[in-house]
């Protein structure tokens, strides 16, 4: 384990140094306030990071030849008990970090805001950074999250792709966008690479027929040039894709060639807000290899902890974009901004408090 001390005049500045140097996996062990020679306040934050995760040795015939034997049930039970103790220690350190951050806030209103944000699932260090603005009802996370520029197909052509796990709501969000922009007079075309799964394209094709917009299936990269030629007059090309998971990413590997051939201007990784936060983190581990440019969020109406989308956005370092919070087409969707996030968190906080 690598331990370092980060010093700054203010606590949030020291914590920012920790995140920059060690990343979101850093564990805050302690924080202390002191004075320098000029009687100015200084904060010292002790942080730790595992430099090399332990890898269990696999049992093989070579182990047996060296006199090694598989671990006994008693040994396994001892290991499990040790892991549980470590988990409790880590949980305790996390609680200590949360209490310390809360106490470092300026006044009661900011501490109450910190409590609300924490209840919504926002990590303690992020809740600390956001508490002052949230207490004053200012745009929240305006500096914490990397915000992107809203897509405007009225100004230039966009080929927008949506990827994500099966059942995350890609087709529904694309249908909402197609209807929304069509009603504004934008020329829209739809493409689906979900051609291997039975019925994978049916719902989106039905929406295309209903809206009267062109629809194209794509299962070979060689077809992309023809589709791009046929959709030259479209101002917005929306591309649906086959669902995949972090534990079985065969579909992801199979489809990246199709995505490259479609010359995408934006690639959105769509995460359903009702997904377990850790599962979402596992999906985010693949975003670099799949060249995602934005995050999108669906099913925001199906979670009591929408704050996880803050954690996902910060860990990924990708700007959030479209969000969806219901099945109606084209309603209940929009582009996520710091003002929209503040309204979303405020509403969720009131509902949790009731």
Provide CATH code, domain 1-53. Answer: 3.30.1660.10
Cα–Cα distance for residue pair 341/135, rounded to 1 Å: 14
Cα–Cα distance for residue pair 248/260, rounded to 1 Å: 21
Task: Render the burial of 214-235: b for 16+ CB within 10 Å, e for the rest.
Answer: bbbbbeeeebbeebbeebeebb
Give the per-residue pLDDT at 285. Answer: 86
For the chain, what percentages of helix, strand and coil (3-state, to nearest 5) are there?
Answer: 45, 20, 40
CB distance 250 to 244 below 8 Å = yes
* Per-residue pLDDT at 203 exceeds 50: yes
Weakest mean pLDDT among 1-15, 163-177, 218-232: 1-15
Question: Could you tell me which residue, 305 or 101, shows the higher pLDDT?
Answer: 305
Strands (E) across 241-332 are located at: 266-272, 294-298, 320-324
Give the per-residue pLDDT at 76. Answer: 56
- Per DSSP, the three-state class of 184 is coil
Average predicted confidence (pLDDT) for the chain: 84
* Per-residue pLDDT at 54 exceeds 50: no
Cα–Cα distance for residue pair 350/354, rounded to 1 Å: 6
* Per-residue pLDDT at 68 exceeds 50: no
Question: Could you tell me which residue, 161 or 69, shows the higher pLDDT?
Answer: 161
Torsion sign, CA atoms 285, 286, 291, 292: negative
Please choose, from the candidates 77, 76, 59, the residue with its C-alpha nearest in 3D space to the C-alpha of residue 68. Answer: 59
The class of domain 158-336 in CATH terms is alpha beta
Weakest mean pLDDT among 100-104, 193-197, 202-206, 286-290: 286-290
Question: Could you tell me which residue, 260 or 329, shows the higher pLDDT?
Answer: 260
Taking the domains of the chain in order of start, what are their residue ranges? 1-53, 158-336
Give the per-residue pLDDT at 92. Answer: 45
Tens digit of each residue's pLDDT (9 = 90 or more) over 112-134: 999 999 999 999 989 999 999 99
Whether the model pTM is above 0.85 = no
């Amino acid at each position: 384990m690598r331990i370092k001390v980060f010093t700054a005049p203010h606590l949030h500045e020291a914590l920012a140094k920790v995140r920059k140097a060690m990343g979101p996996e850093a564990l805050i062990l302690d924080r202390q306030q002191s004075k320098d020679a000029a009687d100015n306040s200084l904060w010292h934050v002790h942080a730790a990071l595992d430099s090399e995760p332990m890898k269990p040795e696999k049992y093989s015939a070579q182990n047996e030849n060296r006199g090694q034997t598989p671990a006994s049930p008693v040994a396994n039970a001892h290991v499990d008990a040790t892991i549980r103790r470590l988990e409790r220690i880590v949980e305790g350190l996390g609680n200590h970090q949360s209490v310390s951050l809360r106490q470092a806030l300026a006044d009661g209103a900011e501490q109450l805001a910190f409590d609300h944000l924490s209840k919504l699932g926002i990590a303690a260090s992020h809740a600390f950074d956001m508490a002052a603005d949230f207490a004053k009802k200012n745009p929240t996370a305006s500096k914490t999250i990397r915000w992107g520029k809203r897509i405007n197909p009225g100004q230039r052509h966009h080929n927008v792709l949506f990827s994500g796990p099966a059942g995350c709501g890609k087709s529904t969000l694309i249908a909402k966008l197609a209807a929304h922009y069509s009603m504004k007079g934008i020329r829209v075309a739809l493409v689906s690479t979900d051609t291997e799964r039975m019925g994978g394209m049916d719902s989106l094709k039905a929406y295309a027929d209903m809206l009267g917009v062109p629809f194209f299936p794509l299962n070979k990269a060689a077809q992309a040039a023809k589709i791009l030629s046929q959709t030259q007059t479209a101002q917005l090309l929306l591309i649906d894709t086959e669902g995949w998971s972090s534990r079985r990413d065969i579909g992801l590997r199979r489809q990246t060639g199709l995505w490259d051939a479609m010359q995408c201007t934006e690639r959105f990784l769509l995460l359903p807000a009702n997904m377990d936060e850790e599962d979402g983190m596992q999906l985010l581990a693949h975003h670099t290899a799949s060249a995602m440019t934005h995050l999108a969020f669906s099913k925001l109406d199906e979670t009591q902890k929408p704050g996880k989308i803050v954690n996902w956005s910060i860990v990924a370092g990708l700007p959030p974009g479209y969000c969806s919070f219901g099945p109606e087409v084209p309603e209940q969707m929009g582009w996520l901004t710091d003002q929209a996030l503040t309204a979303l968190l405020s509403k969720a906080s009131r509902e949790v408090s009731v």
